[in-house]
Structures are given as structure tokens and as C-alpha cells.
Copies of this chain bind each other. A is one copy, B any other.
Amino acid sequence: MTAALADELAGLLGPEAVRAGAAVALLDPGWNPHNLDAGLVVSPATTAEVSRLLAFCHERGIGVVPQGGRTGLVGGAVSLPGEVVLSLTRMAAVAAIDPVGRTAVVEAGVTLERLQQAAAEHGLDPAIDTAARGSATIGGMIATCAGGIRAFRHGVMRHRVLGLEAVLADGTVIDDMTQVLKTSSGYDLKQLLVGSEGTLGVVTRAVIRLEPLPGPRATALIGLPGAAAALAVVRHFLGADGPSLQAAEIMSGGYATGSAAALGVDGGALGLGAPVHLIVEVSGSIEAETREALEDGLATVWESAGIQGGVVAATLKQRETIWLIREASDAIGRAYGLELWYDVSVPPARIDAYVAEAGRCLAAVDPALELHFIGHLADGNLHVMAARRERPEHVPHEAIEAALYEGLREAGGAFSAEHGVGLDKREALARHGDPGKLAAMRAVKAALDPRGILNPGKVLPPA
């Protein structure tokens, strides 16, 4: 059946657009081993071809799974036999950069790194960054409303998108490639498509807002009694004239020491051992002044914020080590038999209370469960790790989720901050989302994709 469909699609879009069987087995499935289970990958070269493909699949009722860099963490790109994987890899051009208006016009399949490089030639930057930059595509980042460490200053992907072109389930093309910040000319459907994870339409092109490339950086790692104290440091740097805060990454003490140990880094030299650690990174115009401004700023708040110690990176190598502890978040898992990661948003003022309460609830589930976290402090996005030295026979997924998600929405937070819902968090959406919002989501899905061909089974929980 897949082979026959592959032939038909090759007839529709040309043989170079279609891979099936062994040709699919050669491809990297990305971060979820089931991404390519459909066994059929179609790669259109133009928006018109995407439209033709979707009209065909809509007519036949064939499920279509749009894929970017396949770096998603929640199963949002998993495909099944009988479905068609729609890969945007052949639509990967940076079509134009406007250095005056500070915008880039790109095709959806361009990687973040490629856009960063193209923008840097003009002294500009998309102002959003993630560790997956080499693979993650702009289309995929739009579909999942990607965030990252710079969101507190420059917003999440939603705020970087000025214009969008997308194809709806029946092949209708929405051309809303605005290059301006202000448009109030009908429903902003592009904002509905951002974060809809390929279930409402397929992003084909976008206009991305650019910012000046940050100048030389200075980086510190400091120890603090808690998140509230760390926030006081952040607020100081956000309010100060001069160098601008570029990163404010928090790590629980247990994460920092555990990660350093797993990586063979000397934690003592970095002052590890406090209840929480904060990476503060600022950028300015001149390297020496930037570093001095960081040192002066830390000195100013040292006592009032209760800073317990720390280092300002003296060398590039030391800066890299600091970031390694934060970013190599798989290392610490080696010491555990069970290691589960969650991605929550918590109003910044409530982080200490949230962490304490979640820790208590986790312990009530199983006293051997440990809670560690890393996160983007200034926007309240925590990546929480529930870990256990020995893997238990039965993993109490639902109880752990309840411990971490219960009351979060009422407190103004979110059970998924930047990873999306995909397949893995549909149950969480059903349990911890708002019923009114869910009902409206179903109505919108039925209106825009009445046959349910777009990314079937994703985001919306089974009714």
C-alpha cells in the first residue's frame, strides 16, 4: 500500500520528492525513534507542491505528519504506517535579509543555525537560540513555539514571527508574509498556527524579526540561597544601564554538583554547593568594560541578594565549562536508574514555593525520588528532573505528573512551557488544561482540518 502511494506521489510531485522503503531507513529519525515509522517521506520543493500534496491527501483522507529537524521532545513528529511524512528539507532558503527593517524572509526548512549565520553577515541575529540549532528548523520552531534562553528579553518564537505563509489541510494557502510589527487587519491566524504543532496547517515560509548581534560577553556563576535571591540579581541587571543581560540560567544545587561530577568538572573551583546557582551573562560593546560592569553589578547586589560565592569567568575555557554544566543535561542521568524530565512555567515569584511543594509531593509518591532542576529564571521556565537512583519496577508516571502539575495552572503557570504537547502531553492537557480552552481547540481543529489529516493524534487528547 505504501509503495503504491509512493508511486502516486512521485507522479504528483516528481520522483525526487519521494522516498520510501530502504531510502527512508537511511534517514536519521531524529530524537524520537518512531518519527519515520510511516516509511514514506515526501519533500516538496515549493509552497505550490505542499498545497498539491495536502489537497491530494485531504481528498483521500491520508494522514500527513509535517517534520522539520526532528528534534522535538514530545513525540510531535511521530508517524505511523499509512501516513505520509511531509519533510520541509528541500525548502531551506534564506530568501532575503532586510538590514534596515531588520527582517529575514525564510523558507520553513532552513535551520536556525543557517539563519543565524546569514543574519550575522549583517550584524544581526534572530535573537532566539537553542542547543538544537544545527538541526532545528524555523518551521518546526514556529510550529512548537520554541523558547530558549533569550526569551525573557526577545520573546519566544511567537514574538519573532512577523509574517507567515502556511498551507491548510485542504491545500488552501494562507499568504500573510507581513514584514511589519503592526498589523490589525483581520484575525491573526499566523499566531494561531504558531504553537499548533502541525495540526492546523503546514508552515512553508516566514518573516523573522532580527536584532543586533550581541557584543562581547561576560559570564558569571554564582551561588544563592534560592530563586527569589537569584531574581533580585536578575532584576538588578535588567534595570541597569550599560551591558544588557543575555542569560539568567538557574540550576538547583543538586543538579549543578551532580552535573559537574558526572562531567569530571571541579565543582569546588566554581564555588558549587549552594542551594541554587545562577549563570549571569551580559553583553556590551567592549570586552573589558563588559566584564567590569558584570563584576561591579554583582558587587552592588552581593549583600542584598545574599550571594554566597561564585566566579566571573576569566577565560573562554572557564566560560565554556560553566555552560557545559548547564547544557550537558544528559550527563547527570548516568548516576540514576530513572530520570524523567518535565518542562514547566512558573510565575517567577513563586519558584521557591513551587519547588518546595513539588519536592514534598514527589517524596509522598516515593521518598527515593529526587527533584533537580535547571531553567530560564527570568521567564520562570523550569526543566524539572524527577530522578531515582534505582529504577523502580513500576514507574508512577501519573503520580509524578500530578506532583509537578497540580495547581500549576491556577497559579498562573503552564505544564508545557516550550516543548509543546505532541503525543506525550495530551493526557496532561486533558487533566491539567482548561476545559473551555480544550472545547474551543476542538472546534478550531474541526473547522480548519475537518478530515483530521494534519498530524493525526497530536496535541488534542482523544475525546
Interface residues of A in 199-257 (CB under 8 A from B): 200, 207, 212, 228, 231, 235, 238-239, 241-243
- Chain A contributes a number of interface residues (CB within 8 A of B) equal to 91
B186 touches A421 (CB 8 A): yes
Interface residues of A in 333-364 (CB under 8 A from B): 345-350
Asked if A39 is at the interface (CB within 8 A of a chain B CB), the reply is no
What is the chain B residue whose CB lies nearest that of A146? Answer: B184
Given contacts A152-B181, A182-B151, A443-B448, contact A101 B349 (CB under 8 A): yes
Residues of B within 8 A of A177 (CB): 412
What is the chain B residue whose CB lies nearest that of A187? Answer: B441
Interface digits, A140-180 against B, CB 8 Å rule (1 contact, 0 not)? 00001101000110011011000100001000111111111
A417 touches B184 (CB 8 A): yes
Asked if A25 is at the interface (CB within 8 A of a chain B CB), the reply is no
Asked if A28 is at the interface (CB within 8 A of a chain B CB), the reply is no
A231 touches B100 (CB 8 A): yes
CB distance from A232 to the nearest CB of B (A): 9
Cα distance A446–B446 when bound, in Å? Answer: 11
What is the chain B residue whose CB lies nearest that of A346? Answer: B180
Asked if A420 is at the interface (CB within 8 A of a chain B CB), the reply is yes
Cα distance A30–B429 when bound, in Å? Answer: 42
Asked if A418 is at the interface (CB within 8 A of a chain B CB), the reply is yes
Interface residues of A in 117-148 (CB under 8 A from B): 144-145, 147
Residues of B within 8 A of A184 (CB): 144-145, 147, 156, 195, 414, 416-421
CB distance from A423 to the nearest CB of B (A): 14
Residues of B within 8 A of A349 (CB): 98, 100-101
Asked if A191 is at the interface (CB within 8 A of a chain B CB), the reply is yes
Residues of B within 8 A of A421 (CB): 184-186
Residues of B within 8 A of A241 (CB): 241-243, 284-285
Q: How many copies does the complex hold?
A: 2
CB distance from A77 to the nearest CB of B (A): 15
A444 touches B101 (CB 8 A): no
Mark the stretch among A63-71, A309-317, A431-439 that contacts chain B. Answer: A431-439
Asked if A196 is at the interface (CB within 8 A of a chain B CB), the reply is yes
Interface residues of A in 63-112 (CB under 8 A from B): 98, 100-101, 103
CB distance from A86 to the nearest CB of B (A): 18
Cα distance A212–B345 when bound, in Å? Answer: 22
Asked if A287 is at the interface (CB within 8 A of a chain B CB), the reply is no
Residues of B within 8 A of A172 (CB): 436, 439-440
What is the chain B residue whose CB lies nearest that of A228? Answer: B100
Closest 5 CB pairs of A and B: A179-B412, A447-B447, A100-B349, A183-B414, A191-B191
- 18 other A-B residue contacts (CB within 8 Å) besides A183-B345, A443-B447: A101-B348, A145-B188, A147-B181, A151-B182, A152-B181, A156-B181, A175-B434, A178-B409, A180-B379, A180-B414, A185-B415, A185-B420, A185-B425, A185-B433, A187-B437, A192-B444, A242-B242, A444-B448
Give 5 CB contacts A-B under 8 Å.
A101-B347, A103-B412, A156-B182, A184-B419, A186-B437
